Structure 1
Amino acid sequence: MFSFFTKNKELILKSPFEGKIVDITKVNDEVFSSKMLGDGIAVIPSNNIAVAPCDGTITQIFPTNHAFGIITKEGMEILIHIGIDTVSLNGVGFKRLVDVGRKVKKGTPIIEVDLEYIRKCKKNTITPVLITNMEKVESMDKNFNNNEEILKIKVKK
C-alpha cells in the first residue's frame, strides 16, 4: 500500500555463454570499456549458444544477429553484444533462434554462434553484457567466478 514499505527488487543475471568472466573495462573497445553504453561485465565464450541472461522479453535483435536486447519485468534493459567488430561479418556466423517480442526464461537459447568462424575472421569473441539504463540501478555486484550469477542488481524503487 505504501511505497516506502516496498523493498528494492533484486535481479540476478547469468552469463549468456559458458566461459571466463572479465570486467567490462578489460574489453578492447572504448565504447564498452568506457561504459559509454552502460555498465556490466564481459564473457569470453567457450560454447556456441548465447542464452538469455534472465527472464524477460526480447526487445531487439540486430539484423546481423550479433547483438540482442532484453527488458525485464523490473524495467532493466540488457544488451548482449557478441564479439567486437562482429557487425562487419554481416550476419555470417550467427543464427537467430528466437524472434523479437518473444518472452524468454533465463537460459533460453537466443543466438547460435560459429566461434571458430569469428576467430578465423580475426574478430575477438569477447561478449559484453550491459545494463543500458543505469539510472534505474541502485547497486550492482559483479561476480567473476560463477557463470550462473554474473551480476546482482538492486533496482531503484
Structure 2
Amino acid sequence: MSDAKATQFLKSVLIDEDSLAAASRDQEQERQVAIFDLLDGNYFEPVESAGGPYDLKLSLVENRLALDITGAAPESGFEERRHLLSLSPFRGVIKDYFMICDSYYSAIRNSSPQQIEALDMGRRGLHNEGSNLLRERLEGKVKTDLDTARRLFTLICALHWRG
C-alpha cells in the first residue's frame, strides 16, 4: 500500500450536538458503536487529497447533510472542505430502516429467534441499501469502502432521529 493510501482514514468523527435530538437507549448505543467501529477501521479519501488522516464533523444545515472535512496533518496540504448532500434521496430508506429497527428492538424482547433473525436480515439489507446510496451520493467527492459507508449511514440516521 502506498504511503498516501495508508493515510486515507478518519482520525475523528464529531456529530453536531445541535443537529441531534434525544435518542432512545438503543439508538444512542448504535450511534456510539458506529463511531467506535468507524474510528477503529475506515477508508475515507476526499477527492484530490494527497493524504490524511482527516477529521469529520456531521451536521444538518438547512435540511441537508453537511460533511465538514479537515486534514488532521497540516503538512498534507489538505484544506477544509464542506460537502452538502440533499437528504431527499435518503428519506425512504431511512423511514423503512427506522420501522424495521423498531420492530427488531421489540422482537429482541418478545419474539422467537427465527423472527428476530428475519427482522435482522431485513434491517441489514436496508442498511446496505442506505450505505450504497451514500457511496453514490459521495461519488466525485469522497471515496469510502462499504464498511465505512455503513457506519456513516448509521450516523446519518442519528441525525435524522430528530424527526
TM-score (norm 1): 0.25
TM-score (norm 2): 0.25
Greater share of strand: 1
Larger relative contact order (C-alpha < 8 A, sep ≥ 6)? 1
Larger Rg: 2
